[in-house]
Amino acid sequence: INKADYIFCLDVDSKFHGRWGTESLGGLVAVIHPGYYRDDRSRFPYERRPISRAFVAPGDGDFYYCGGAFGGLIQEVHHLAKTCRENFEDDALEGIEAAWQEESHLNRYMWTNKPSKILSPEYLWQDFKARNPEIKIIRFSGVVKNYAAIRPN
Q: What does the DSSP assignment read for 1-57?
A: ----SEEEEE-TTEEE-S---GGG--SEEEEE-TTTTTS-GGGS--B--TTSTTB--
Query: Class of the 6-145 domain?
Result: alpha beta
Q: What is the pLDDT of residues 127-153, one digit of tens each?
A: 888 888 999 999 999 888 766 666 665
Query: What pLDDT does residue 152 have?
Result: 62
Q: Is residue 13 part of an annotated ligand binding site?
A: yes
Q: Is residue 39 part of an annotated ligand binding site?
A: no
Burial category of 120 from C-beta neighbours within 10 Å (exposed 0-12, middle 13-18, buried 19 and up): middle
Q: How far is Cα 65 from Cα 120, in angstroms, rounded to an integer?
A: 10
Total-model pTM: 0.89
- 84-11-72-89 Cα dihedral, nearest 10 degrees: 10
Query: What pLDDT does residue 138 have?
Result: 92
Q: What is the pLDDT of residues 30-75, one digit of tens each?
A: 999 999 999 998 999 999 999 999 999 999 999 999 999 999 999 9
Q: Is residue 33 part of an annotated ligand binding site?
A: yes
Set 23, 47, 97, 103: catalytic member = 103
Active site residue 94: no
Q: Is residue 12 part of an annotated ligand binding site?
A: yes
